[in-house]
Structure formats: C-alpha cells, structure tokens
Structure 1
Amino acid sequence: MSRPILTIVVPCYNEEEVLPETAKQLSGLLASLLEDSLISEDSKILFVDDGSKDRTWSLIEQEMENRPFSKGLKLAKNVGHQNALLAGLEIANQQSDCVVSIDADLQDDWNVIRTFVEKYKAGFDVVYGVRDKRDTDTVFKRSTALGFYRFMNRIGINLIPNHADFRLMSKRALDELFKYKEANLFLRGLIPLVGFPSTKVYYDRKERLAGESKYPLKKMIAFAFDGITSFSVTPIRFVTLLGFLSVVISAIAGGYAIFQQIVGHTESGWTSIIISIWFVGGLQLLGIGIIGEYIGKIYREVKQRPRYAIEVDAFSNKNQGKQSLGVLLKSVGK
C-alpha cells in the first residue's frame, strides 16, 4: 500500500491551556511518520473548535500560520463532543485515506497512532485504541465504567470495552458511517455496526496535561443514558416487566385481603395502603419518564435539523505544495 493521506481530527472545547502542547506533540508525531515514509506529505491535523468561549480558536489560527499542515474548523456554536467529532470526520474524509480521532487533552497515547497506521496498511479499516488498564481512574469511575460496559453488553449493544473515541477509520469505513443519519449520536455504538475488518491497539492512558475534564459525573451519566436509549428498547421492556410484577403483587395482596375478610380479620392497614399507592405511583412515573425519553428522541429525529453549522472551514482550502509541507513536517520540534 502506498503512503496514505492521514488526517488527525482533534475536537476542542475551551482547550487554551493544553492546545499549544497538543499541537506540538501531534506535529512531532506527523513529522516522524513522514520521515519513516508511513504517511503522505498531504497529511494534516484538523482542530475542531466546538464553540469555545476562551482563546482556543485564536490559538488554532496561530497554529495554522506557523504550520500550514495544521488546519482549523470553527463551528458556529457548541454542539457537543460527538457532533463536533462527526463534523471533523466528515470534513477530513474529503481529502484523506484514513482519519484518526483523538481528544485535545492527549490522555490517549498519541504514540500508538504509528501502530494505527501500520494496522491500516495491513488491511484493517477500523483500529480501536483500547485502554490496557484504568489505574488513573478513581475506584468509583472504574467500577461504574465496568458496570456500564457489562450492562450494554447484556442488553445487546456491541461496544468495545475501555474504548472511547480514540481510533483510526479508513475512508470507506467513514463513508459507511455517514449513512447513519440519526440526530442522537453515540459513535461508540455506531462504529461497530459499520463492519469491515477491525482490530484493537492497547495503550496506557495518561494524566490530563492541563485544564479540566469536559466529562464530569453529570455529563457521563447523561452520555451513558443517551447511549442506552439510542440503541435499545430494553428500558421500556423493563418498565413493562415492572408493571407486570406490580399486577402480580397486587393480585396476591388482593387475594390475601379477601382471605382475611373470610376469616373475619377485616382491620385495614393505613401503612400498607400508602406504601401500595406510592409503589404503583412511582412505577407509573418511572414508566412515563422512560417513554417520554424515547418520544423526545423521536421528536429530534423527525425534525431532521442539521447536527452542526460551520462558521470557518480552513481545511478544504488547498494553498500549499507538497514540498513545503514536507520540509515543515521534518523541521517540527527541532
């Protein structure tokens, strides 16, 4: 296989503290890959600004001036990590043979991108970056993550355990991914549906270079619930099961009440009545809430609104030659 055109897509949201170091590390990586003839001189880095409120975009513009192989994509407003990532993938795929996605905090080991490219050249269309261990996480985060993957597996959603959004995808795999038009994006669940030959590359996750995590507990829970409801109707079936069990319990309680009346024990219990009302009422509210979640997703899907709007696209413009790019790449980091 000839040297592929590689684009590294980096979604960014308020990353001014970490972006200069991220650009430096990834530029050095591109230079190394080019020097070893693993990638084409047309390879690039695409930074996607997801409506940042700090100096992220101005830093991306500086990066574009200093290194022409660095490109920027500015979204008109914040649309969330998954939509921003998809925007970068769609734009990058226009001029690339393969695309790697990685978060700006560089907690994922960018050095294994070399292995990603080697796996791609060996014939794999999707290469998943998988954490070898989770020692840097708290006990709570490790246990909840493990429980999440087990639960998703149990309800029939095929996820790659300990894999986030650090991966390589070939052009044909991305073309297939873009046929999925749902507004409720959960890329970790969609990409395994694409098919094509895939493999895993294991790595050790690092500490965040600077700044704060963009996925606090609240967002992690919302993200997990969104993934579950986007791919499975199991929660609704669970509510149906609860309703059936409630009917069975109520029938047993009714039979017991009739028996008590027959034998002459007709004293009524206030506590049992209140508990029963609360129990059934709670089940009803739970059921309405879960059904409402699905209806809300249907509502979003049928409107077919755009998932993102691009304010500045500095990737699609070809304004440099291969030779100058090659010289720049080789001189990065010196």
Structure 2
Amino acid sequence: MKEKFRNIFWFFGIFAIVVMLCTFDMDYQELWQNLRKAGVWFPAVILLWVFIYYLNAWSWYVIIRDGKHAKVPFWKVYKLTVSGFALNYATPVGLMGGEPYRIMELTPYVGASKATSSVILYVMMHIFSHFWFWLVSVVLFVIFEPVNWGMGIMLSVVAFFCLLAIYFFMKGYRNGMAVRTFKLLCRLPYVKRWASRFLTEKRETLERVDAQIAALHKQRKSTFYVALGLEFMARIVNCAEVFFILNILTDHVSFLSCILIMAFTSLFANLFFFSPMQLGAREGGFALAVGGLAIPSAFGIYTGLITRVRELIWIVIGVLLMKVGNGTPNKTKDE
C-alpha cells in the first residue's frame, strides 16, 4: 500500500480515538475506580484478546493459504487482523474501513483479486460464525433454561432468522457474492452510479473473485470448515471475557450463562450496527441479557463498561500497528 493511503487510514483511526475519548460517558476518576476494582481480571481480559485475535488471524490465514504455501507471513496477517478490526470498531456501520485497508495491504503479497476474495471470504466467515453461534445458543437456552411463551416466541424468531441467514450464506458460498452485491448496489440511490461504473470496469475481476469464493466451498471443503471452526471457537473464547468480568462481582456464574449472555448481547448490539463501537447498544444488551438470567442488571452495565475500555485499548493498539512492519514484499502479479 502507498504510504499516503496508509496515512489516511491511520489519521482516521486517530481521529476516531480522540472522538471516543471526548465522548466517553463517565467521569475518568470513576472509571479509574472501576478499573481498580477489576484488579488482575482486567489485564486478563486484555490478554485474552491476544488469543482471540490469533484465532481470527488463523482463520483468515487458512483462507489465504488455501492448502498451499503462504506468500504472506502469519505475523503480517495477525497485524492486519488487529488493525482491521480496530478500524471497523471505530467506524459507523462497520466494515467500512478495515476491509479496504486489509485488501490494500495484502495486495502486494498475493495480488488484487486474491486479496479481495480472501478478505470477502473472511468477512463472510466471520459473520457466518455469528449466526451459528446464535443458533447454538438458542438450543442451549432451550435445554438448560426455563422457557415461557414470550421467550419461546422470541427464540423461535431468532432461530428462524439464523437458519434463513445460514441458507443465504451457503447459497452465496456456492455461487459467489461479489457480482450479485454490486448488482444490488446498482439499484440503490446515491451509490448506484458509482456501483454501475465499478461493475462495468471491474466485472472480470469480480467474476474471478466469485470463482475463488465458490471454489473454497466446492473444491476445498477442509479449508472452509477449518476456517469456520476457528471463527466459531473465537466466539466461544470471547465468552471467557464475560466470565472474567462477572467473577469480579460474583462467584455464582457459570460459563454456560456467559455464553448465553454473550450471544444475546452480540445479537442486540448488531441490531445497532450503524453506531461506532455500538455505543450504548452493547451496555444495554449486557444489562438485558444478565437480567434475563436472574443476574442483577448492574452487573451487565459494569461488564459493558469494562468491555468498552478493552475495545478502546485494542483500537489504540490496532491503529499503532498500522505504522509497524510495513516493508515492501516482492511484487506479485494479480492472480
């Protein structure tokens, strides 16, 4: 990537961090007291994400390698994973900064079409694993928690929504999604002129991307399921964050409860995807989730607070990593 483009992403990340610090809805002295209350659990939460991002990076690395010798070192994939998520967390609507950044940084290693297809595939896998996580959580809730009529209706709606999404994702994996996505954008106001021009100019590249997406599921199923398994495992490990935080407040919480809390919270927060860092939505989701499991709602608000600080720290780390290890690899022809 040219340095001027990297600097644009970097300055955007710095600007987002400043805005978040200025709009943090808590007195900093009170925040410090809450962090001191967390004790050793707060560093444990921060370090936990070293492993979660490792699983995310490994999933993407498997897709990039595709059973072959990797042209990009794993540490580079890890760095781009952390920086990409940092940009996404800081961006309203999400997936508006991290994905273009990853594509532009990966292109010198594997070519434009391979970089684009691997990033699209990873994003699809990341979202796909969420739907499986929510669906499995619905099953766990039905098995281990009491379900009344209201809860039964809500769980049925969530399960139907997840199954429908899984169906469309599998269809997208079989046939590709790049060309179809731009055809859909061609019908939307404000972006249809740009999308039509891009589709006309880059149709051959987009069709190549679709062929690579379809090939992953049809011809290399082991790569597909390994990447999906790693992403799903990252969702489960993520629940340990809630477990660590709640253990600051009580020793009467099970890991199963933390899985259900995380599932409900992530589902609730993703309904408010248009908010940078999902401000307010995640805290509300935590409060509602723990309340539904007969845990004091104040515990959920505290969990949301610690999670928010952890996100901010990792956003700073991700933005700083954008300026590290940017050597120029050997030039790779577009594949």
Give the TM-score, by structure 2 length.
Answer: 0.32
**When you count helix as a share of all residues, which structure comes out higher?**
2
Query: Larger % of strand: which?
Result: 1
